[in-house]
Amino acid sequence: MILVTGGAGFIGANFVLDWLRTNDEPVVNLDALTYAGNLENLAALQGDRRHIFVQGDICDRALIDRLFAEHRPRAIVHFAAESHVDRSIHGPAAFVRTNVEGTFTLLEAARAYWSALDGAEQAAFRFLHVSTDEVYGSLGPNDPPFAETKAYEPNSPYSASKAASDHLVRAWHHTYGLPVLTTNCSNNYGPYQFPEKLIPLMIANALAGKALPVYGDGRNVRDWLYVGDHCAAIREVLARGRLGETYNVGGWNEKPNLEIVHTVCALLDELRPDPAGPHARLITYVADRPGHDRRYAIDAHKIERELGWRPAETFETGIRKTIAWYLANQDWVADVQSGAYREWVARNYGDRPA
């Protein structure tokens, strides 16, 4: 079996659902259920014995030791993190704690477990660390996209904490020989993304007739990847990635934020027209985020060359699927916005026999 951390969050939940759709290997899913963790994302797995959910903190060494001893995973796929840049500006401490100290705790627990494995199990063990392209800093308009060799220049508390965790992972390989793999991915979008992030926020606000807040001049450029493609890339790296290597994962799809918002508006005009007028009328410019990186772009040649991975979705197909999902899952959005998702465990499991 594999141990997944953060599997009740956006990408982790998509990964667990895809994993169990395509394969029978069980998953132990360790998640603290912070505001970003939502067990409703995993409702389709209720009663599925291949999925074992454990509510707990990646900083809790005793718990992680117990999970390793009890379940003897062949790999750990580490998603758990504080992930929202704006929150990191207002409260960086939680980012240092979870992203740095939490990754350190997992590495130390994994090292103790891995060191005691026998030869074949030890050789097969993997620690896959899921990271971000934000560690590389900001690009000028004509700079080449980020390759794996790009120096780290993190600019926000979020990206600095992820960069620190990447360095720890690298060091545990070089110093102790721990069999690690790291992926650095661009902006994801798709089902189950918490509506504080750009695309789900714009969909939710547009449907509610609320302002669509765009930072600064809206010209900050990001590379966008459909979440299912990111999950497929992680599966490939886990199966065949070279130990100690990092792999950049991206969608070959650089777009300014304003273009993303206009695309969302145009699709909503088509799929859910608003009698009051085109959704783009709601676009409102707001003060920029402090230290807002101007441009990220990913050179994803290495993962394609070595592992044959390329995104299956274009932005046009992925964004259409995403908007269709949000339109079909308005209850999920309402539960997140009202906070009702936090009572989901009690509602769903409270009166069930153990």
Ligand X SMILES: NC(=O)c1ccc[n+]([C@@H]2O[C@H](COP(=O)([O-])OP(=O)(O)OC[C@H]3O[C@@H](n4cnc5c(N)ncnc54)[C@H](O)[C@@H]3O)[C@@H](O)[C@H]2O)c1
**In the complex, minimum distance from the CB of residue 63 to ligand X, in angstroms, rounded to a whole number:** 10
Q: Which tokens hold the place of 79?
A: 């998603």
- Catalytic site residue from 134, 166, 229, 254: 134
Instruction: State which of residues 88, 98, 263, 322 lies at the interface with ligand X (CB under 6 A).
Output: 98
Quick one: which segment of 8-16, 104-112, 148-156, 206-214 binds ligand X (CB under 6 A)? 8-16
- Of 136 and 279, nearer to ligand X (C-beta) is 136
Task: Determine if 28 is a binding residue for ligand X (CB under 6 A).
Answer: no
In whole angstroms, give the CA distance from residue 15 to residue 9. 10
Instruction: State which of residues 19, 53, 68, 79 lies at the interface with ligand X (CB under 6 A).
Output: 79
* Tokens 């290597």 belong to residue: 245
**In the complex, minimum distance from the CB of residue 17 to ligand X, in angstroms, rounded to a whole number:** 13
**In the complex, minimum distance from the CB of residue 349 to ligand X, in angstroms, rounded to a whole number:** 17
Instruction: State which of residues 20, 31, 88, 326 lies at the interface with ligand X (CB under 6 A).
Output: 31
Task: Determine if 33 is a binding residue for ligand X (CB under 6 A).
Answer: yes
x-or-dash string of contact with ligand X, 180-199, rule CB under 6 A: -----x-xx-----x-----
- Of 6 and 137, nearer to ligand X (C-beta) is 6
The 10 Å Cβ neighbour count of residue 276 is 9
- Catalytic site residue from 31, 82, 113, 158: 158
Task: Determine if 83 is a binding residue for ligand X (CB under 6 A).
Answer: yes
Task: Determine if 42 is a binding residue for ligand X (CB under 6 A).
Answer: no
259 is catalytic: no
**In the complex, minimum distance from the CB of residue 15 to ligand X, in angstroms, rounded to a whole number:** 9
Biggest distance spanned by C-alpha atoms of the chain:
67
101 is catalytic: no
In whole angstroms, give the CA distance from residue 351 to residue 354. 9
State how far Cα 239 lies from the chain centre.
19
Task: Determine if 132 is a binding residue for ligand X (CB under 6 A).
Answer: yes
In whole angstroms, give the CA distance from residue 90 to residue 157. 9
274 is catalytic: no
- Of 83 and 253, nearer to ligand X (C-beta) is 83
Q: Which tokens hold the place of 158?
A: 């979020």
Residues in contact with ligand X by CB under 6 A are 5-6, 8-12, 31-34, 36-37, 57-59, 79-83, 98, 102, 130, 132, 162, 185, 187-188, 194
Residues that are catalytic = 133-134, 158
